[in-house]
Structure 1
Amino acid sequence: MSTQVLQTPYCGLPPAPADLWARWNFDPILISVLVVCAAAYGWKATAARRQGQAIAAWRQASFYVGWAITALALISPLCPLSVSLFAARVGQHIILALIGAPLVVTGRPFTRVENVSNPATKPRGIAPLSAAALFAASIWFWHAPAPYAETFRSSFVYWSMHVSVYGAALWLWASLIDAPPAKAMHVVLAGLFSSIQMGFLGALITFAPRALYTPHLLTTVVWNLTPLQDQQLGGAIMWVPGCVLFFITSMLILWQEIIRSEIAPARANAVSR
């Protein structure tokens, strides 16, 4: 007689509503990684200050706020709630990719110390359209039903999902924030592409005629949702914030480029006179 071993998801078994706020994720490895990364950034900021090229205080604050938000998304009760609800897992991804990642990147953690005082300095090799394509690939892959279900069976796959989505988001936002003027239109196109793909995927999930995500077929009822309603909520969470935020970012960058293109000739004419 064979025995089937059921795998417990990384965030544990689905929580009951009454127990949710007691379900924090105090994984020592995760907490150690989060602390080490924050400490490494602090060391970099200190080194830059000693060299007379200090990272602006507002940028440091942005990094630490973004890193705190990233940590909360991973260790808070949102982790076990994402075992019960697809909407919670999507919300976790949105917090990581659209709130935590841009705030962290604004702190300039990937710029060499000798260049931190130059706001035009960008990490080498960043191509906005390539970054947007990688981010789209990670979002679409991990929200396909089969890979998504696999994250509930393997902690390695679970962290592969989070690392790839968050890493791709960091790369994308690094290519959008403080973009050099020469890449302005590439940045606008990357932002628009990200807006469209997030909106399209969210719409596909929202308007799917049946529940697609098997891990949640039996876990949503205690939250007064059917699996399809949970899926529709998750699709809307992906659709609206992702579509709107990337669109606004693109329009702001386009507006800055228009203003720059108008100011430059005016300054040239003033100098020639």
Structure 2
Amino acid sequence: MSHPAAFQTHNWHPYCGEAPIPAHWLSHWNWDWMLLGCLAALLVVGFTTSRATFREQLAATGCTIVLFVTPLCALGSALFLARSVHHLALALVLAPLLVGAVGPKAFPRIPLTAATLMQAAIFWAWHVPALYAQALSNDLVFWAMQLSITLSAAAWWASLRRAPALAATGALLAQMVQMGALGALLVFAGRAFYAPHWLTTAPWGLSALEDQQVAGLVMWVGGGGAYLLLASVMLWRALGADARPHVAPRSA
């Protein structure tokens, strides 16, 4: 598949570094001292102010290191598939860990429906090809992407924790639908959308379109399936609680 020459010669500068090749990607660690310093400072503050949630803070920090320090970060410069896994991890792993680390009260009380729409809109917006390309060529835009995906998802998880079981189940199913729709769009597209990956996937044995299609499957089946599983557990617990017999207290 041919691509416009302007995009072929564009010099991308992803935050995580240039796209690695398979033989060397495990050596592509991100030793950004500002990021590492911020993580260390947050751990110290968290340990000294709220030891009760330090385990959650440690888990959130560990997840952040995996996503932004290890070679997984650089792999996202080469493969849209890796970037998709990264985004799913932000929404499904780091965001709820963040809520556990700082508590739901740290997030504004947003109605669950509004939080669901906001989180979905932000997630879709950053997968618009033009915005995605900007994020992989400008560090400020990259961090705007990462923070907005994570914080909107965290606000959604906080709202989910406050909601009744049936409302929470509905919100989880809505997330499943929107994630599946985005994944299906990427799977059935007839062309590769994301210019930063047009010339970086071949060393990995994939065309840019194949990379995009596999990423779509991961969103559709993996992301949508995760929301469906959580919705099923939530509904099962709610129905189980309603089915339990209510025993009237004995009179003295």
TM-score (norm 1): 0.81
Deviations 1:187-238 (A, max 9, x none): 1111111111111111111111111111111111111110011001111121
1:30 maps to amino acid:
L
Map 1:192-271 to 2 at 5 A. 192-263=173-244, 266-267=246-247, 269=248
Structure 1 stretch displaced more, 88-97 or 60-69: 60-69
Alpha-carbon contact 1:70-1:95 (below 8 Å) kept: no
Task: Give 1:83's match in structure 2, choosing from 46, 60, 77.
Answer: 77
C-alpha distance in structure 2 between counterparts of 1:95 and 1:158, whole Å: 16
Alpha-carbon contact 1:25-1:79 (below 8 Å) kept: yes
C-alpha distance in structure 2 between counterparts of 1:29 and 1:137, whole Å: 30
Alpha-carbon contact 2:109-2:159 (below 8 Å) kept: no
Task: Give 1:102's match in structure 2, choosing from 71, 75, 96.
Answer: 96
Map 1:105-124 to 2 at 5 A. 105-107=99-101, 109-110=102-103
1:211 maps to amino acid:
A
Task: Give 2:119's match in structure 1, choosing from 135, 150, 166.
Answer: 135
Alpha-carbon contact 2:119-2:156 (below 8 Å) kept: yes
Q: Residues 7 and 201 (structure 1 numbering): CA distance in 2 closer, same or farther, change over 3 Å?
A: closer
Q: Residues 111 and 218 (structure 1 numbering): CA distance in 2 closer, same or farther, change over 3 Å?
A: closer
Q: Could you list the runs of 4 or more consecutive aligned residues of structure 1 that deviate by over 6 angstroms after TM superposition?
A: none
Deviations 1:117-176 (A, max 9, x none): xxxxx9651432222211101110001111111112211111100000011121122223
2:216 maps to amino acid:
G
2:183 maps to amino acid:
G
Task: Give 2:19's match in structure 1, choosing from 14, 21, 27.
Answer: 14
Q: Residues 9 and 200 (structure 1 numbering): CA distance in 2 closer, same or farther, change over 3 Å?
A: same
1:24 maps to amino acid:
W
C-alpha distance in structure 2 between counterparts of 1:162 and 1:260, whole Å: 37
Map 1:43-192 to 2 at 5 A. 43-46=48-51, 55=52, 60-107=54-101, 109-110=102-103, 125-177=109-161, 179=162, 183-192=164-173
C-alpha distance in structure 1 between counterparts of 2:120 and 2:182, whole Å: 10
Alpha-carbon contact 1:188-1:254 (below 8 Å) kept: yes
C-alpha distance in structure 1 between counterparts of 2:201 and 2:214, whole Å: 12
- Structure 2 residue aligned with 1:51: none
C-alpha distance in structure 2 between counterparts of 1:230 and 1:6, whole Å: 20
Which blocks of at least 5 consecutive residues in structure 1 are unaligned? 47-54, 113-121
Alpha-carbon contact 1:63-1:105 (below 8 Å) kept: no
How far does residue 111 in structure 1 lie from its aligned partner after superposition?
Answer: 5.1
How far does residue 21 in structure 1 lie from its aligned partner after superposition?
Answer: 1.4
C-alpha distance in structure 1 between counterparts of 2:63 and 2:226, whole Å: 17
Alpha-carbon contact 1:129-1:187 (below 8 Å) kept: no
How far does residue 270 in structure 1 lie from its aligned partner after superposition?
Answer: 5.0
C-alpha distance in structure 2 between counterparts of 1:262 and 1:5, whole Å: 61
Root-mean-square deviation (CA), in Å?
2.4
Q: Residues 83 and 110 (structure 1 numbering): CA distance in 2 closer, same or farther, change over 3 Å?
A: same
3-state SS of paired residue (2:50): helix
3-state SS of paired residue (1:17): coil
Deviations 1:101-120 (A, max 9, x none): 2233234x1356xxxxxxxx
C-alpha distance in structure 1 between counterparts of 2:222 and 2:187, whole Å: 14
TM-score (norm 2): 0.87
Provide the identity percentage. Answer: 34
Task: Give 1:28's match in structure 2, choosing from 19, 24, 33.
Answer: 33
Give the number of aligned pairs: 244
How far does residue 7 in structure 1 lie from its aligned partner after superposition?
Answer: 5.1
